[in-house]
Structure 1
C-alpha cells in the first residue's frame, strides 16, 4: 500500500523541482520530504528521482508514477470532502492579476481542486485596478493582485521591485527620441508607475504598444518594439533588465490578497491559505 503522504511529497517535488521548495510549500522539513521520497522508492523498488548539485529530475519510472500519484491524491481529496467533517462546497469567484497567472497560478489551482473538489471555482483575469472595481460591486469574492506602496487594503503577501525590460537595452536606449513604452491599458498600476517615474525626471516617452494580455506585451517586447515594466521575479524570458543607472528607479509594488466583505469565509480562507503557503515563502529572506 502506497503512503499518501509520501505521494504528496513526490507530486510537490515534481511541481517545484526542488526539495527545499517542496518542503516549504508542504510546511515540512527538507529531511522529511527526502525521507518520504526514499521510502516511496523503497516500497516500489525503483529509483524515482535523479539528484545532483544543480537540479532534481524524475527518472522514467518517476514520470510514469506522477499521473497515478495525482489520481490517488485527487480521489483521496474527493472522499475526504464527501465524508469528512469539514466538507467545503459552493462557488468561489477568484480574481487574479494578469502577471500572477503567467507565473504562479497553475500549482495553486492544482492543490485547491485536489483538496476541495466540491468547490466550483470561477476565475477572472484582469488588471489589478479592474479586479478591485469588480470586487467593490460584489462580482468577486477573493482578489490576488498588486497595490501601490502606501495603500493598506488586503493581506500583504510580499513586496517586489519593478524593473525596466527590453530585448536589447542598448539599442532601445540609443534611439534618441521619446522612450518607447509597451504597457497594459489604464488603469494599470505598472503603467502608471512607469509614466510617473519618467515624468519626475522630465524624460519624454510614448506608448508604442498597448495590450491587456501579458503574452501580447511580451511578444511586442521580444520583437524589439520598446520597453516593458514588470515585477523582477516575473520578468519574461528573452528580455533583459535595463541597468538602474540608465532609466529612473521605479517604486516597488506589493502583492496582496483581498477577500470581499460578506464572502464565504471558509472558502476564501481555504484558498488564501494555499496561496500564502506557496507564494510567501518564495520571497522571505
Structure 2
C-alpha cells in the first residue's frame, strides 16, 4: 500500500482559509482586504494560492460582487469549521468556557430589535455556546445549510418545497406607495429582489396571467431597499405582511393582482442537532408564533 509522504500533502493554511471566508462574506476583495487590514493584491494572492492547493476555482468574479463556485461552497463549509476549531482551541488554552459554536442563518426581515434581544438573552443563558449569526436571502441561507455552513436556519420558501422542523404560512401583500402610488400606470413598474430571489417570478407570472404588462424599475437584495423604493413611488412589490410599513398601502385585488398564498416560513436543523441547536430553534419558534398571531 503506498504511503503518502508528509511533504506531498496539501496543507490548507488558516490564513488562506480566513481570506476565502472574508471575501465570500463581503462579496468583495476590496472590502475583505479592509476587514483583514491587508491589501487587495495580497488577498487576491492568497485566494490564488488556495485555488492552486484545492485544484479548483473557488470564486467567480462578477461585475458587482464575488460569489463562491460549487467547489468554493464546499471548501467554505470546512474552512468555517477549521477556523472555528482554531478559535475554540485558543480560548480553551486561555481558560475560556466556550465549548461549541452554533451557526444560525436568518432572513433580513427577521433581523429586528426583538430578534437581537432574544439572541443576546440566549447567549447569556448558554455561556458555553458561541453564536455565529448570518443574515441574507433565504435561497442563500438554504444553500449554506445544505452545504454544512449553518447548523440552524430560518428560511422563507414555497410551500411544501422542502421539509422543515417547524413551519408556518407566510401571508403576502401587494404593496404600493401610500403617497406616490404607481398601480394605475399602464405598464406596472416592479420593485424586486434579484433573479432567483423569492417573490420575483411570482409577481411576474401573476401580472402576465391577468393580462397586464410590467417592467422592472428597481432591483435590490436588501429588504430595506425594496421597502424604501416602494414607499418613494418607484414601483409596486410583493412582500410578507411583516414587511409592510407605514409608507405603504396594500393593493391586493387592484389591476387583477391576486392573493398570493404559496409561501411559508420554515425552521431547519438536522436530525443529529445538539441540545443547543434545538433550544435556539424553540426560541425562534416562539418568536415566529407570536408574530404569526
Shorter-chain TM range is: 0.5 to 0.7
SS of 2:170's equivalent in the other structure is strand
Q: Which of the residues 155, 162, 167 maps onto 2:177? A: 167
Instruction: Give the deviation of 1:261 after TM superposition.
Output: 5.3
Deviations 1:234-276 (A, max 9, x none): 31331111142432222342111001455x4212101101111
> Cα RMSD between the aligned structures?
2.3
Q: Aligned equivalents of 2:156 and 2:220: distance in 1?
A: 18
Gaps of 5+ in 1: 1-86
Q: Aligned equivalents of 2:253 and 2:170: distance in 1?
A: 15
Deviations 1:207-249 (A, max 9, x none): 1111111111122112110012111133133111114243222
Q: Aligned equivalents of 2:186 and 2:109: distance in 1?
A: 30
Instruction: Give the deviation of 1:174 after TM superposition.
Output: 2.0
Q: Normalising by the residue count of structure 2, what TM-score does the alignment of the two structures yield?
A: 0.61
Q: Aligned equivalents of 1:195 and 1:156: distance in 2?
A: 29
Q: Which of the residues 115, 121, 126 maps onto 2:125? A: 115
Gaps of 5+ in 2: 1-96
Instruction: Give the deviation of 1:150 after TM superposition.
Output: 2.8
Instruction: Give the deviation of 1:186 after TM superposition.
Output: 2.5
1:99 aligns with 2:109: yes
Q: Aligned equivalents of 1:169 and 1:199: distance in 2?
A: 26
Q: Normalising by the residue count of structure 1, what TM-score does the alignment of the two structures yield?
A: 0.62
Taking structure 1 as reference, are residues 223 and 117 closer, same or farther at Cα in structure 2, changes over 3 Å only? same
Task: Considering Cα pairs closer than 8 Å and 6+ residues apart, tell me whether 1 or 2 has the greater RCO.
Answer: 1
Please tell me whether the aligned partners of residues 157 and 280 of structure 1 are also in contact (alpha carbons under 8 angstroms): no
Q: Which of the residues 174, 182, 192 maps onto 1:183? A: 192
Instruction: Give the deviation of 1:180 after TM superposition.
Output: 1.0
Instruction: Give the deviation of 1:188 after TM superposition.
Output: 1.4
SS of 1:224's equivalent in the other structure is coil
273-282 vs 203-212, which deviates more? 273-282
Aligned match of 1:212: 221
Aligned residues: 196
1:239 aligns with 2:227: no
SS of 2:266's equivalent in the other structure is strand
Please tell me whether the aligned partners of residues 180 and 232 of structure 2 are also in contact (alpha carbons under 8 angstroms): no
Please tell me whether the aligned partners of residues 176 and 183 of structure 2 are also in contact (alpha carbons under 8 angstroms): no
Instruction: Give the deviation of 1:94 after TM superposition.
Output: 0.7
The 5 Å alignment of 1:55-74 reads none
Taking structure 1 as reference, are residues 89 and 234 closer, same or farther at Cα in structure 2, changes over 3 Å only? farther
